[in-house]
Structure 1
Amino acid sequence: MMFGRLMRMNEGAGHLCPRRAIEPALAAIETRNIAEIVARVVGTLDYPVDNLDELMFTLPVCVMAAVTGVPFSQLKEVAKRTRDFVGCLSPLSDEVQLGAAHRGAIRLSEIFTTLLGSGELKSRFLSDILSRCEAAAWGDHDALIANLIGLLSQTCEATAGLIGNTLIALQREPHLIEGVQPTPMIVADLVAEVARYDSPVQNTRRFVAKRCTVGGRVLEEGDTVLVLLASANRDPDVNPDPDSFLLRRTQRRTFSFGAARHECPGRALALTIACEAILVWLHSHPVPFARLLRWSYLPSHNGRIPTFYPDEETR
């Protein structure tokens, strides 16, 4: 039931209200304030600069939860429950993961129900959403909670992949920042090129609602279209010399977040969170790659998300 309420999964009339309330609120978030939130969140975590799993998965979700107004005392629990929840989004999930996802969804629903029912001042982001819901006379409480949880789940794996793939890019090409002060502008360019060159979301699917013609091919109602986002990023017609990693690439076009009406409204926020996470890591490692990073990729049909091993382990 929760999955079916997510605005990103459907463009029907029932999904327009959460989209119209949440998308403008996301676009209105001041990304320059994210650095301050990241700094506060880092202080609540255990080992975010040494534990890459925590840097990749826990930090971004905690930041998104904090933006939503979740108390800092609950951020780590929300991150854990969100990671449990995303287990139900993959067809590769087993029964154990599905059970944990179900429990995670229930607990996240409880947390957001309490947050929405609280008489205390809401975050600016959540207040903006509630104001838009009220203006549209839309009061589907369960759908709103489902979509708030959806924001956390989208932040979880995709941003983790973006952070992890950036670390891999630096491991493979350390000259990108050698002898250079890692300023926010340089790291922003680095993360943006990683999003294009090594997309954390490789593909997505679209389902044909009615018979149509796309690219000269007739598609029938019910057909599934596999959209290769990572391949589009390497199209030489939109990104010249597409197989080269260029930090200062001009007029970069990236399709990892979709495009046009399907573009992810959290694109700028995701890039900013990843950038701030990488800055935290770089500032804590004077010699960033004095040790060799080892990694493999999590099993997924559409994601490219690395998992890193301690030095003493082998792949």
Structure 2
Amino acid sequence: MTTAEAIQVPAVPDDIARQIVLPEGHRDDVPLFAAYRWLRENNPLGRVEVEGYDPVWLVSKHADVMEIERQPDLFTSGGADPGSHNPILQNQAGDAFTRSLLGGSLRVLDAVTYLDPPEHTAVRGIATDWFRPANLKKWEDTIRGLAREAIGKSLHSGANDLDLVGDFALGFPLHVVMSLFGVPESDEPRMMALTQDFFGTADPDARRADVEELTPEAAARQWKAAIDDFYAYFDVLVEDRRKSPRDDLATIIACAKQENGEYYPKTFAYGWFVAIATAGHDTTSSTLSGTIEQLALHPELLTKVQQNPQLLPDLVNEGLRWSSPVKQFTRRATRDCTLRGRRISEGDRLMLLYQSANRDADVFDDPDTFRIERRPNRHIAFGYGPHMCIGQHLSKLELRVMLEELLPRIRSVEITGERRVVQTNFVGGLRKLPVRLELSS
């Protein structure tokens, strides 16, 4: 933080603000990334007002995102005052609708996303040890078997014409997460539908049949409907694990107890299950499809990593930087402060643009080029600070194992049709990518 006087910078043009704030601005990532670049080069911390949304500061630089993320006491997720702030940017009508359902609160889930320390620390601690690399190591063989199974189900030797996203990339991470939960495979289609409902609230292609089209609060209504459906399913899971504990992640979460020895309220278990089933699935599938798309566009990179498998961890990291499937979270200033010479007032909201931060030329050489051998690769695709994604090591493990199993068999991969991107300003990536994938036997 500095106490510098406010500096003179160009105002953020309305078209740039709308491109970044509105979900429809994310339908085409070429102008989106051009808008990010304009911000970084001209007004890296710019306050904008887009009709229908609260005024918000657009935080586009890597260093500023880290500065905010490391100070949850100054830049809150809303935990201590859940009616004051939504860490996931919605329009004003959506927030108003959410408050009307929750008695004035915007805390849709009792999940770490909505919490601040010390509550965040305690709830995150429920599963911290399970997600450590040392524990995940014992699941690697299971995950490898699931990767081979996914390849065998979706692909065959020779030419495969398919939608890389819907026919392949979406299924594997969900199957891994559900297997670790102990959820029956027969229930996975239901979980898949709900995860798409959850993250597709602003995408016409993912609208639920029971949600009105184009109403201002439609996104919030779909969000709440998906959460209610998740709760109904996971309540059965919580009850089962409390009665009959097993050696699985669901048992650890369902049977977690507070300091007083009592179980956490069920809503905290639901929050964990929803967070892992959605973010733990969709972000990994978006990164997998985005990485393979780059290998299709740059076949020399595919050859390089096939000849040198030791590059696979680097490929995973670059895929995460490039895709950055979590596009934003917002924070609220708890008191007046100064950031990058700009005066931030108590109550101001800040939109952390992770995709932009991961293309910051101050941190990444040639940031708009996909480079496997990028070292160091200081991407913040998993966030930073206390809110850094607890599932990052599992996601990296899934991606590495799948690529270890798939890439040696690829003879060629060619994009054969028009790509489509999920219309969302929150979490998403490719929705559709037609490819011809030729595999060896």
TM-score, scaled relative to structure 1? 0.81
> Following superposition, which runs of at least 4 residues in structure 1 exceed 6 angstroms of deviation?
none
Within 5 Å, give how 1:123-202 maps onto structure 2.
123-130=247-254, 132-134=256-258, 137=261, 138-178=263-303, 181=306, 185-202=310-327
Instruction: Rate the CA distance shift 1:46–1:87 in 2: closer, same or farther, 3 A.
Output: farther
Per-residue CA deviations over 1:211-268 (Å, capped at 9, x if unaligned) read 2332333212221112222232233443334343321222210111111222111112
Corresponding residue number in structure 2 for 1:86: 199
**Partner SS for 1:165:** helix
- 2: distance between equivalents of 1:55 and 1:35? 20
- Between the aligned partners of 2:246 and 2:402, the Cα distance in structure 1 is 26
Query: Computing the radius of gyration over CA atoms, which structure comes out larger, 1 or 2?
Result: 2
Asked whether the 8 Å contact 1:162–1:194 carries over to 2, the reply is: yes
Cα distance change on mapping 1:144 and 1:211 into 2, 3 Å? farther
| Aligned residue among 127, 130, 145 for 1:22 | 127
Match of 2:176 in 1: 63
Deviation at 1:68, TM superposition (A): 2.0
Matches within 5 A, 1:1-315: 3-11=108-116, 14-27=119-132, 29-31=135-137, 33-37=139-143, 39-40=145-146, 43=149, 47-49=153-155, 50-52=162-164, 53-88=166-201, 90=202, 95=211, 102=224, 104-118=226-240, 119-130=243-254, 132-134=256-258, 137=261, 138-178=263-303, 181=306, 185-282=310-407, 285-289=409-413, 292=416, 294-303=418-427, 305-310=429-434
Please give the secondary structure, in 2, of the residue aligned with 1:195: helix
Q: Is the 8 A contact 1:204 1:302 kept in 2?
A: yes
One-letter amino acid of the counterpart of residue 298, structure 1:
V
Superposition RMSD on alpha carbons, in Å?
Answer: 3.4
Counterpart-to-counterpart distance in 2, 1:133 and 1:246: 45
TM-score, normalised by the number of residues in structure 2: 0.60
Q: CA deviation at 1:140?
A: 1.1
Q: Secondary structure at the match of 2:401?
A: helix
Q: Report deviation, 1:305.
A: 0.7
| Cα distance in 1 between the residues matched to 2:355 and 2:293 | 17
CA contact (8 A) 2:170 2:282 kept: yes
**Larger relative contact order (CA 8 Å, sep ≥ 6):** 2
1:20-68 Cα offsets, whole Å, 9 max, x none, are 2133432364156245235337648995445521422232122112212
Say how many residue pairs are matched: 310
Query: What secondary structure does 2:431 align onto?
Result: strand
Classify 1:41/1:81 alpha carbon distance in 2 versus 1 (closer, same or farther; 3 Å): farther
Any gaps of 5 or more consecutive residues in structure 1?
Answer: none
User: Which range moves more in the overlay, 267-276 or 248-257?
Assistant: 267-276
> 2: CA distance between counterparts of 1:182 and 1:35?
24
Partners of 2:163 and 2:433 within 8 A in 1: no
- CA 1:42–1:115 in 2, change beyond 3 Å: closer, same or farther? farther
Using the TM superposition, give the Cα deviation of residue 8 of structure 1 relative to its aligned residue in structure 2, in angstroms: 0.9
* Amino acid in structure 2 at the alignment position of 1:7: V
Q: Which has the higher helix share?
A: 1
CA distance in 2 between counterparts of 1:180 and 1:247 reads: 8
* Matched AA of 2:183: V
Question: Separation in 1 of the partners of 2:136 and 2:435?
Answer: 38
Deviation of 1:91 after TM superposition, in Å, equals 8.6
Distance in 1 (alpha carbons) for counterparts of 2:419 and 2:260: 47
Q: Deviations over 1:82-109 (max 9, x none)?
A: 2223334x59885258666555434432
**Alpha carbons 2:200, 2:423 under 8 Å: kept:** no
Higher strand share: 2
Q: Given the superposition, is the C-alpha separation of residues 180 and 260 from structure 1 closer, same or farther in structure 2, using an over 3 Å criterion?
A: closer
Give the 3 Å change call, closer, same or farther, for CA 42–102 of structure 1 in structure 2. farther
Q: Which stretch shows the higher mean deviation, 127-136 or 201-210?
A: 127-136
The question of whether the paired residues in 2 share the 8 Å contact of 1:31 and 1:268 is answered with: no
Contact 2:290 2:429 in 1 (8 A): yes
What secondary structure is seen at the aligned counterpart in 2 of 1:5? Answer: coil
Structure 2 unaligned runs (5+)? Answer: 1-101, 156-161, 213-217, 437-441
CA distance, structure 1, for counterparts of residue 308 and residue 277 of structure 2: 28
**Secondary structure at the residue paired with 1:126?**
helix
Question: Which whole-Å CA distance do the structure 1 matches of 2:130 and 2:339 have between them?
Answer: 33
